[in-house]
Amino acid sequence: MKTKSRLTFLASISILSIAATVFASDHSASSSVSPDAALAKLKEGNARYAGSTVSAGKPTAAKRAETAQVQHPFAVIVACADSRVLPELILDQNIGDLFVIRTAGNVMDDHGLGSVEYAIEHLGTRLVVVLGHERCGAVTAALASDSAPGHVQSLVRDIQPAIKATKGKAGDPLDLAIAENARLVAATIRKEADLGDLAKEVRVVSGVYDLDTGKVEWAKE
Ligand SMILES: [Zn+2]
């Protein structure tokens, strides 16, 4: 090959590579982290957090710049609004890593389901984690009564299935209800999220965050 044509050939290859890279970063499915790999990353992150005195997943200007134009979060986290349960910190992740939905009691409504569907269909996310936590105030309220003033009633109402399912079981009633509530919300997402063909690529798991140790106990699916 003559030098000029060889250079032209190499230039064509580079352009093709760039085009392929641009396409890959634009196309959510091709850049997805598999659900198993995503869960492994979260488990490693939580172990880093629980095993150190400070979370290493601090937001940085570099990370902000890297994610300013496009996001590919590798997990959806459905967590409680509790001020002590910060998914990015307790799972040691950074800007752009997690697509987080938070309500008191980590309950799911149409807005939440729409958010889950958006992350899976448009951002390429393939893992959904429902994260309950120890001493959850919303579950405590639901355990105390099936009615509450104002819109708190909607939270207490949606947690009742977990209270009923664990009633009379051996163990601490609040701990049992918290784990069951996270498990039932995960089941609701599996059943009600409208994911079409993507459903078979998606994994939905649940876990409970321990406020004392900083560790997440992952439920068996
Ligand atoms: Zn809570």
pLDDT in tens, 69-97: 999 999 999 999 999 999 999 999 999 99
37 Cα–ligand 1 center, Å: 27
Phi then psi for residue 71, to 5 deg, are -125, 140
102 Cα–ligand 1 center, Å: 10
CATH of 32-218, one of 3.40.50.1820, 3.40.1050.10, 3.40.50.410, 3.40.50.2300: 3.40.1050.10
39 Cα–ligand 1 center, Å: 22
Q: Is the pTM of this model over 0.95?
A: no
114 Cα–ligand 1 center, Å: 21
123 Cα–ligand 1 center, Å: 27
135 Cα–ligand 1 center, Å: 7
96 Cα–ligand 1 center, Å: 24
Q: For residue 21, what pLDDT is reported? A: 38
**Residue 101: in which H helix or E strand, if any?**
strand 98-102
CA 45 to chain centre: 13
Q: For residue 56, what pLDDT is reported? A: 67
**129 CB burial (10 A radius; 0-12, 13-18, 19+):** buried
Q: Please report, for the chain, the start and end positions of each structural domain, with discontinuous segments joined by +.
A: 1-27, 32-218
Q: For residue 27, what pLDDT is reported? A: 39
Q: For residue 16, what pLDDT is reported? A: 41
pLDDT in tens, 19-36: 333 333 333 444 589 999
DSSP structure class, residue 180: H
Token representation of residue 20? 């392929």
Q: For residue 31, what pLDDT is reported? A: 58
4 Cα–ligand 1 center, Å: 67
53 Cα–ligand 1 center, Å: 23
15 Cα–ligand 1 center, Å: 51
Phi then psi for residue 77, to 5 deg, are -115, 120
Averaged over successive runs of 10 residues, the pLDDT of the chain (221 residues) comes to 45 42 40 92 96 78 93 98 96 96 98 98 98 98 97 98 98 98 98 97 98 96 75
12 Cα–ligand 1 center, Å: 56
44 Cα–ligand 1 center, Å: 23
106 Cα–ligand 1 center, Å: 7
pLDDT in tens, 50-61: 998 776 667 889
